[in-house]
Amino acid sequence: QAKAHGGAQIAFFESAMGDAAEQRFRIDRDLRQALVEDQLRLYLQPQVDTSGRWTGAEALVRWQHPVQGLVSPGVFIPIAEESDLIVSLGRWVVTEAMRLIAEQARAGRSLPLSINLSPRQFRQPDFVTWMQQLLAEHAIDPHLLTLEITEGLVIGNVEQTIERMQALRALGLHFSIDDFGTGYSSLAYLKRLPISELKIDRSFIQDVTRRADDAALVETILSVASHMGLKVVAEGVEEPAQTQFLAARAEGVILQGYFYGRPGPAEEWLARWAADGSLPALPALPPR
């Protein structure tokens, strides 16, 4: 089977179909089939603190294509986002994440997960009530679920977005700003959003120990986060020197990247974490 590789997959769709529009059409059509035939897979990537202790994981979707093998989200998410397909796909991801959290909870273990939320999914009229129902159905602690959004979600819809975020926050869910620093938003809106976390984009981490401008940007983000009481996750950590840089400047920073583990099938990571005691015991529910 073809190994996961964005470039090769795009090339396949191109050579098979011709122009870009047809290629999009084909991916769109196959992806609808994928939802029906259960071809989506949830991968997890660990997050750790500066002493290397496991703190949680990000859920990243993959597509197990019958011919292509494993297709990465960079290939199909942008196409899914052009239609309501992203809503069905996003629902599958949320449901699967909750199922995993519930499964671990039944075994007495706590699994904090972050999932990526697409703007179209967030803007579905019934999104808040749908989330509320699903949380109740799976009986999970909502604090274990973090919704990653991007800066672009806020632009143009500030009041409506904040209102909806507050409703979801009131359910106990957390928000994180993904790829922080790459959007065109101003710092002014940060204080108005009910967020718990900033994720520093990988592009700033990559050369943080080699480039003074990246170092300055990362230091600024760490400082803003600290002053605002926000948790910080650095994505794309590949070298110990990057962790040293971050740990020297922010005690509580959380690290995610190939250095600590690549995204892998949820079942595989979970079996490993359960075996090595990474997953903390679920706190006893408070009396009600």
Q: Which residues bind Mg ion (CB under 5 A)?
A: 116, 148, 178-179, 235
CB of 63 vs Mg ion, minimal distance in Å: 17
Question: How far apart are alpha carbons 49 and 56 in whole angstroms?
Answer: 10
Interacting positions 115-144 with ligand C2E (CB under 6 A): 116, 118
CB of 96 vs Mg ion, minimal distance in Å: 16
Among 34, 60, 85, 177, binds ligand C2E (CB under 6 A): 60
What is the number of residues in the chain?
288
Among 35, 238, 239, 247, binds ligand C2E (CB under 6 A): 238
Is 206 within 8 Å of 236 (Cβ atoms)? yes
For ligand C2E (CB under 6 A), the number of binding residues is 22
Q: Closest-CB residue for ligand C2E?
A: 257
CB of 108 vs Mg ion, minimal distance in Å: 28
214: contact with ligand C2E by CB under 6 A: no
Tell me the two tokens of residue 219. 């230091």
CB of 283 vs Mg ion, minimal distance in Å: 26
The residue (of 8 and 281) whose beta carbon lies closer to ligand C2E is: 8
Interacting positions 7-36 with ligand C2E (CB under 6 A): none
Among 44, 57, 87, 93, binds ligand C2E (CB under 6 A): 93
Question: How far apart are alpha carbons 288 and 166 in whole angstroms?
Answer: 24
The residue (of 214 and 235) whose beta carbon lies closer to ligand C2E is: 235
Could you give the count of Cα atoms lying within 13 Å of 9 in the half-sphere of its Cβ? Answer: 24
73: contact with ligand C2E by CB under 6 A: yes
Percent of the chain that is helix, strand, coil (3-state, to 5): 50, 20, 30
Among 100, 153, 236, 255, binds ligand C2E (CB under 6 A): 236
The residue (of 85 and 147) whose beta carbon lies closer to Mg ion is: 147
The residue (of 23 and 111) whose beta carbon lies closer to Mg ion is: 111
The residue (of 93 and 253) whose beta carbon lies closer to ligand C2E is: 93
The residue (of 30 and 201) whose beta carbon lies closer to Mg ion is: 201
Distances (CA, A) of 179 to 20, 176, 234: 27, 10, 9
The dihedral through the CA atoms of 191, 220, 55, 206 has a sign that is positive
Q: What is the dihedral of CA 179, 184, 190, 195, to 10 degrees?
A: -30
* Residue 112 binding: pick among ligand C2E, Mg ion, none (C-beta 5-8 Å cut-off by kind): none
Alpha helices in 53-146 (DSSP H): 73-80, 85-106, 119-122, 127-138
In the numeric block, the tokens 């997953």 are attached to 279
Nearest to 44 by CA among 55, 57, 34, 31: 57
Question: How far apart are alpha carbons 266 and 272 in whole angstroms?
Answer: 10
Contact set with ligand C2E (CB under 6 A)? 45, 60-61, 72-74, 77, 90, 93, 116, 118, 148, 178-179, 202, 235-238, 257-258, 263
